[in-house]
Structure 1
Amino acid sequence: MRVYLPCTLPALARAVEAGELGPAPLTGYAVTPALTEWYASGDTEELEYVALTEAARASLRMLAADRADGVAAAPRRVVVAAEVPDGSASSGADLEERARVRLGAAVPMGKVAAVHIDDHYAAADIEAAVGALPASDDGDDDARFTVDGAEAHELMWYATQEIPDLLRSQDGQT
């Protein structure tokens, strides 16, 4: 089963050093029965894109949390795509997040299939979205528009062998 795990560049560096994404439990996003039922007309590729988009939203929140904790993190959303055994992810009944799953074990880096990350040109919009999150959560429509604007940027795909280069670069751009 393909699972999309929200991440940040500092968290990815820690995962590489540890050899796994964790600790468990981990929140991820995948093609769940609830997502398939809700998005009845979509094929597997479209459903995986929905799950990836949900993980990118969660990555934005992780980036904001890192910043609040004083962690220097480049304004890039990061999503790690991993293959986990069927049945290792459990989904809840939350209708707001139909793609959300919970993993009960850490994910070894050897199970990572790819990394998706914002290109450097998205930095200003991602930075603005991080700053607008609190007002957006309070119902401010202008702030919500700013946060939604981050989704206008497609995440770039990187093979696992490119992860060290991503981490070596000062701000996560190649």
Structure 2
Amino acid sequence: MRVYLPSTLTLLDAACHAGELGPSPLTAYAVTPALREWYSSGDDEELEYAAMAQAARASVGLIAADPGTPRRRVVVACEVSAVPPADGSTELGDARLELHVVVPWTAVAAVHVDSADAVAVVAKAADSWDAAAAGDEDAVFALDSCEGEDLLWYATQEIPDLLAAEGSRGDAKA
């Protein structure tokens, strides 16, 4: 099953060096029954995109929690054996699930990362994260603005170069 793990560049660097994503449990996003029911007319590609979008939004929360991390959303796409919750605990349209395993780096299929041009938009969203969670309309708008930024695709062999370039940039924090 393809799952999308929200991350940050700081967490991605640690996972790349550790050879795994963890510790367990990990919040992941995938095409769950609740998502499939919500987007009943969507094809598999649209459903995967919707799951990845939810992971990208969760990445903003991770960025908000770590003021020292670069202000670029990161989503790690992995192939794992996962079973979405079947106990009715998810809301209609929710792609979230919990993985009770550490994900080995070999399960990573690709990484999706904001371009450097998105830093200001993501920084504003991260700064607004708590207010958005409290329902502030302006903060929700700032968070929703991230959805207008495309995530770039990186193959697994490109990740070390991405991380090296990010480390040398030093200006990716807004």
TM-score with structure 1 setting the length: 0.91
Whole-Å separation in 2 of the counterparts to 1:96 and 1:125: 28
1:159 has 2:155 as partner: yes
Aligned to 1:128: 124
Shift of 1:90: 3.3
The code of the aligned residue for 1:54 comes to Q
Shift of 1:138: 2.2
Shift of 1:34: 1.3
Shift of 1:97: 5.8
Aligned to 1:119: 115
3-state SS of paired residue (2:66): helix
**How many residues are treated as equivalent by the alignment?**
167
1:77 has 2:73 as partner: yes
Whole-Å separation in 1 of the counterparts to 2:38 and 2:54: 15
Q: How does 1:55-94 map to 2 (within 5 A)?
A: 55-67=55-67, 72-85=68-81, 88-91=82-85, 93-94=89-90
**Residues 134 and 96 (structure 1 numbering): CA distance in 2 closer, same or farther, change over 3 Å?**
farther
Shift of 1:136: 1.7
The code of the aligned residue for 1:81 comes to A
Whole-Å separation in 1 of the counterparts to 2:151 and 2:12: 16
Whole-Å separation in 2 of the counterparts to 1:42 and 1:142: 30
TM-score with structure 2 setting the length: 0.91
Which ranges of structure 1 fall in alignment gaps of 5 or more residues? none
The code of the aligned residue for 1:63 comes to I
